[in-house]
Amino acid sequence: MNRELKEEKRLQNRLKTVFPATSENEGLARAIAAAFSAQADPTMEELTEIRTAVSEAVSNAVIHGYPEGGGEVVMELEMYSDGSLTISIEDHGVGIADVEQAKEPLFTTGGDSERSGM
C-alpha cells in the first residue's frame, strides 16, 4: 500500500494586537502585517496584497464601525507550517443592519459620497 504522508498544518507563530480605531493606525497595521508575513518570504506582489487588504479592513473598521469615533480594532495574525497566513481584523462597532442587503453589488450606507460598500 502506497500512501503519501501529509505534514499536519501546525500553527508556528501568532500575534494579537489591539489599537485605537483611528485612521493614523492604518499604517501601523500595514507595517505589523508586513513584518509578520515576512517570515513566509512573500513576493513583493504578495506583500503588497497583504498590506492593501489590511489597510482596507482597518479603514473599514474605523470609518464604518465607529462613525462617531472611539472604539478599538483587534488584529490577529497566524503563520502555519505550510507557509499559509491568516489575518483577522475585528471591531465591535455599529455593525451592518441588513447583511443580505449589504451583499448586493455596489450597496453602501454612505450616501452619494461613497462609491460602494463592501
Catalytic residue numbers, as ranges? 56, 60, 115
* Distance in angstroms (rounded) separating the CA atoms of residues 87 and 67: 23
Question: Could you tell me where the beta strands, DSSP code E, fall in 40-103?
Answer: 72-80, 85-91
Cβ-contact 18, 72 below 8 angstroms:
yes
Cβ-contact 63, 115 below 8 angstroms:
no
